[in-house]
């Protein structure tokens, strides 16, 4: 018998990832940066990987280091990417 001790459902976590990536996209576009510009600025050499994170494809997501670097690049507080 499998027990799930998590306090969050898989769907809830996926919605959280979608929210963050949409926020990143909105703020990036507001700064008139391309995905390539931001990817390179935060040290990601593959725009495809960055795009997959921003668009929640292939189970790719930004990690905490990415979010920290994105917040610096976009000149926003890291909490602005989450709220």
Residue 10: predicted pLDDT: 87
| Residue 21 and residue 54 in contact, taking contact as beta carbons nearer than 8 Å | yes
24 Rama sector, left if φ>0, alpha if ψ -120 to 50, beta otherwise: alpha
What mean pLDDT comes out for the span 13-32?
95
Task: For 59-76, write each residue's pLDDT tens digit.
Answer: 999 999 999 999 999 999
Domain assignments of the chain as residue spans, ordered by start: 34-83
**Listed residue (27, 37, 13) closest to 80, CA to CA:** 27
Residue 83: predicted pLDDT: 86
Residue 30: predicted pLDDT: 96
């Amino acid at each position: 018998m499998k027990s799930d001790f998590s306090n969050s459902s898989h769907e809830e976590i996926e919605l959280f990832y979608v929210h963050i990536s949409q926020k990143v996209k909105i703020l990036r576009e507001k700064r008139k940066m391309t995905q390539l510009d931001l990817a390179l600025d935060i040290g990601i050499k593959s725009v495809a990987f960055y795009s997959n994170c921003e668009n929640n494809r292939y189970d790719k997501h930004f990690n905490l280091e990415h979010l920290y670097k994105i917040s610096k690049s976009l000149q926003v507080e890291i909490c602005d990417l989450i709220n």
